[in-house]
Amino acid sequence: MKISVVIPCYRSQATLPTVVRETVDVLKQRPEFEYEIILVNDGSPDDTFGVIAELCRNDVNVKGINLSRNFGQACASMAGFAHATGDIIVYSDDDGQTPIDFLWALIDKLLEGYDSVFARFAQKKNSWFQNLGTKVNNLMANLLIGKPKHLHFGNFWVCRRFLIDEALKCKNPYPYIGGLFVKTTHNMTEVPTNHRERLHGTTNYNFAKMLSLWLNGFTAFSVMPLRVATFSGLVFSLAGFAFALYIIVQKIRYPMIPAGYSSLMATLVFIGGMIMFMLGLIGEYVGRIYININQIPQYVVRETINTVD
C-alpha cells in the first residue's frame, strides 16, 4: 500500500526542509508502506521552489510541482492530488504546525473502515482571527452543505483514493475540498491531536483571503444563500406592508402626527442596503457561472520534478 503526502507551499523556503525531514522520519516508521511526498509551489515569491528542487534531488520519493502563478491553496492542493499515485492521500501544511507524528494514528483509524479521518485540534496555536475564520468556515459547512457536526475541517487529514478521484472530477476554478468530500461520503471521523506553533514567520491569510474562503464556502455547493435572500425579501416585503398599514391607521386616528422623515430615510437606507447585498450575492453566482463557461483553468503547471505526467 502506498501513501501520498500532499503539501501546498507558499513562502515556505525556511520551513520546508524541517517539515519534509519530519514527514520522512514518520513515514519510515512503517516500512511496509511505500510513500511519496508531493510539494506544490503555489507561485511563491521567495525561493520556495528552489528549496523544493533541492529536496527532490536528495530524495527520489519527494516530488515537486511548480505552478505558473499563485492560484490559491485549494487549487494548489488539487494540482498535488492530480499527481498523487497513492492508495491513501495525506494532506498536510508547510509551516510546521501539523503534528505529523500523529500521522499513523489517523491512518490506523482510516484502516478501521472510514473513508476520511481529520485531525481535531484541542487548541489551535493560531491568531484569534484565524481561529474565528475556522469556526465560521465550519459553521457554514454545517448549515449549507450538510457537514456532520462532529467533524472539524482543518489542514491535516487522510483519505482513501476514491475520494480524491471524485474530487478531481471538479474542474471549478474555486474548488472547495471539504464540500467535495461531504458530497461524496459521510463515512468520516476525526482523531484528537495537538497543534504546534509555526516554525517561522506569520500566516499568509489576511482578511481578504479569509473573506474569499468564506465566500467560496457560501457559494460552492449550495443555493441556500439564494433561498435565504428570497426568504429575507419576502419577510421585508410583509413587514413593509404591515408597517404601511400601521402608518395609515395611525394617521387616521391621529391626524396631527407629523411625517417621520428620519424614520423614512433609515428604512430606505436599510432596505436599499439589503437589496444591494442580495443583488451582489446573485451576481457572485452569475460571475462564477461565467468563469466556468469560459473554462478558466483551476491551475497551470510550469514544471515538475520526479513526477510522471
What span, in angstroms and rounded, lies between the C-alpha atoms of 192 and 159? Answer: 16
C-alpha cell at 12: 515556505
Whether residue 219 lies inside any domain: the answer is no
> Percentage of the chain surpassing pLDDT 90?
42
CATH for 201: 3.90.550.10
Q: What is the pLDDT of residues 38-48, one digit of tens each?
A: 999 999 999 99
Is residue 196 located within the same domain as residue 143?
yes
Is residue 238 located within the same domain as residue 108?
no
Among 83-97, 152-166, 205-219, the least confident range: 205-219
pLDDT at 213: 60
Is residue 41 located within the same domain as residue 87?
yes
> CA-CA distances (angstroms) from residue 267 to 91, 141, 274, 292, 301?
49, 33, 11, 38, 52
Is residue 191 located within the same domain as residue 289?
no
pLDDT at 174: 81
Whether residue 93 lies inside any domain: the answer is yes
Whether residue 214 lies inside any domain: the answer is no
Is residue 238 located within the same domain as residue 106?
no
Is residue 191 located within the same domain as residue 76?
yes
Whether residue 118 lies inside any domain: the answer is yes
Whether residue 135 lies inside any domain: the answer is yes
pLDDT of residue 88 exceeding 70:
yes
Is residue 197 located within the same domain as residue 260?
no
Whether residue 217 lies inside any domain: the answer is no
Is residue 229 located within the same domain as residue 274?
yes
pLDDT (mean) for 106-116: 95
102: pLDDT confidence band, cut at 50, 70 and 90? very high
Is residue 110 located within the same domain as residue 234?
no
Write the single-letter amino acid at 74.
A
CB atoms within 10 A of CB 180: 22
Is residue 151 located within the same domain as residue 276?
no
pLDDT of residue 207 exceeding 90:
no
pLDDT (mean) for 277-305: 79
The residue behind cell 461524496 is: 184
Among 55-59, 96-100, 224-228, 258-262, the least confident range: 258-262
* Domain count along the chain: 2
291: pLDDT confidence band, cut at 50, 70 and 90? low
Domain that holds residue 284: 224-293
Do residues 100 and 29 make contact, with C-beta atoms less than 8 angstroms apart?
no
Is residue 100 located within the same domain as residue 128?
yes
pLDDT at 33: 95
What integer best gives the mean pLDDT of the chain?
Answer: 81
pLDDT of residue 262 exceeding 90:
no
Whether residue 103 lies inside any domain: the answer is yes
Is residue 179 located within the same domain as residue 256?
no
- Could you tell me the pTM of the whole model? 0.75
Whether residue 211 lies inside any domain: the answer is no
pLDDT of residue 166 exceeding 80:
yes
What span, in angstroms and rounded, lies between the C-alpha atoms of 115 and 186? Answer: 8
C-alpha cell at 124: 489551535
User: What does DSSP assign to residue 187?
Assistant: -
In three-state secondary structure terms, 117 is strand
Q: Is 152 left (phi over 0), alpha (psi -120 to 50) or beta?
A: beta
